[in-house]
Amino acid sequence: MSKPKIVCLMGPTASGKTGLAVELASQHGYDIISVDSALVYKGMDIGTAKPDAATLAQAPHRLIDIIDPSESYSAADFVRDVQVEVADIIAQGKKPLLVGGTMMYFNALQKGLAPMPAANPELRAQLAEQIAEQGLVSLHEELKRVDPVSAERISPNDPQRLQRAIEVFRLTGKSMTQLWAEQDAQELPFDLVNIAVMPEDRTTLHKRIEARFEQMMAQGFLEEVKALHQRGDLSIDMPSVRCVGYRQLWQYLEGEDTLEDAVFKGIVATRQLAKRQHTWLRGWEDLAIFDSLQSDLLGQTLKYLESRII
């Protein structure tokens, strides 16, 4: 028997994925599964652009609001959970639709999990000392030498990802890119049809990112981060607080930046995230990309899906 075909809808942040997904769900029988490493956290709604109550009533999303910000959620957790959700949706006679911008999750699902080494506290301390003495640029220059593919994907201003990429190389003698290439893909009980949406003009995406960040601030994003900050059990080293936008406002609350600078840095960090997502998507195999600003986006998407899903 042929495997069921599952649609993966990808795209950079602020590209219009959610709008298209909701139309597919509400009008064409799809059931949405979120593929987003930030939407898993409870109480992190505004800064993650989590769908509001009205949207969720129209098109429920699975794998959102499933853990507390003090907890961690890995790509391995996602691969495990998404298969459960897909099976449940199919059993109900519906069509699963995986939607999001966390490319690491999509990659883990489609290509398997790379055998990455565990974090090494001693090496982390050495890298922190190197950053203090030589700056982040020294790590990025080293990454360019040992793993140019990851260096293109990771921003020179992203200490966590930079440290992790260098840590992996120093511990294993292999780059993250090489380890990803050596991973073993698992046999999935379904086949995947990959599509992506994004504006053809990158400038348009940048404007949308800035407008959305400003809208989030008007909706109470700072108050949301204040509530997290006041809990007392969270820190900037946790994955939840390191989410784009949250980290920058957290640093403002810690007195490291003015609010104006924090907002500016949050917008810049979001643009950098979109650039990394673009980099992932440029190398994605068997991917149909649609301009999210075209007038008949839904129609063109449905036409393509009908040609791929028989």
Instruction: Look at residue 215 and tell me whether its pLDDT is greater than 80.
Output: yes
Q: What is the pLDDT of residue 115?
A: 74
Could you give the CA distance from residue 310 to residue 122 in angstroms, rounded to a whole number? 54
Strand-pair category, 287-291 with 191-198:
parallel
Half-sphere exposure of 197 (CA within 13 A, CB side): 23
Across 90-107, average pLDDT: 95
Q: What's the whole-model pTM score?
A: 0.83
Instruction: Look at residue 310 and tell me whether its pLDDT is greater than 80.
Output: no
Instruction: Look at residue 301 and tell me whether its pLDDT is greater than 90.
Output: yes
Q: Are 278 and 12 in contact (CB under 8 A)?
A: yes
Instruction: Look at residue 33 and tell me whether its pLDDT is greater than 90.
Output: yes
Q: Are 73 and 37 in contact (CB under 8 A)?
A: yes
Q: What is the pLDDT of residue 116?
A: 78
Could you give the CA distance from residue 141 to residue 295 in angstroms, rounded to a whole number? 43
Instruction: Look at residue 229 and tell me whether its pLDDT is greater than 80.
Output: yes
What percent of the chain clears pLDDT 70, i.e. is strictly above it? Answer: 98
The kind and range of the H/E element at 87 are helix 75-91
Domain range annotation of the chain: 5-113+183-308, 121-182
Beta-carbon count within 10 A of 193 CB: 19
CATH fold, domain 121-182, is: Histone, subunit A (1.10.20)
CATH fold, domain 5-113+183-308, is: Rossmann fold (3.40.50)
Q: Residue for token digits 């883990």?
A: 108
**DSSP strands (E only) in the chain:** 5-10, 30-34, 61-62, 95-99, 191-198, 287-291
Q: Are 16 and 28 in contact (CB under 8 A)?
A: no
Q: State the distance between the two ends of the chain, measured CA to CA, in whole angstroms.
A: 13
Instruction: Look at residue 179 and tell me whether its pLDDT is greater than 80.
Output: yes
Neighbouring residues of 260: CB distance < 8 A, sequence distance ≥ 6:
none
Instruction: Look at residue 114 and tell me whether its pLDDT is greater than 80.
Output: no
Q: Are 35 and 103 in contact (CB under 8 A)?
A: no
Instruction: Look at residue 112 and tell me whether its pLDDT is greater than 90.
Output: no
Across 177-181, average pLDDT: 81
Could you give the CA distance from residue 16 to residue 30 in angstroms, rounded to a whole number? 17
Instruction: Look at residue 1 and tell me whether its pLDDT is greater than 70.
Output: no
Could you give the CA distance from residue 95 to residue 110 in angstroms, rounded to a whole number? 18
Angular region, 249: left φ>0, alpha ψ -120 to 50, beta rest: alpha
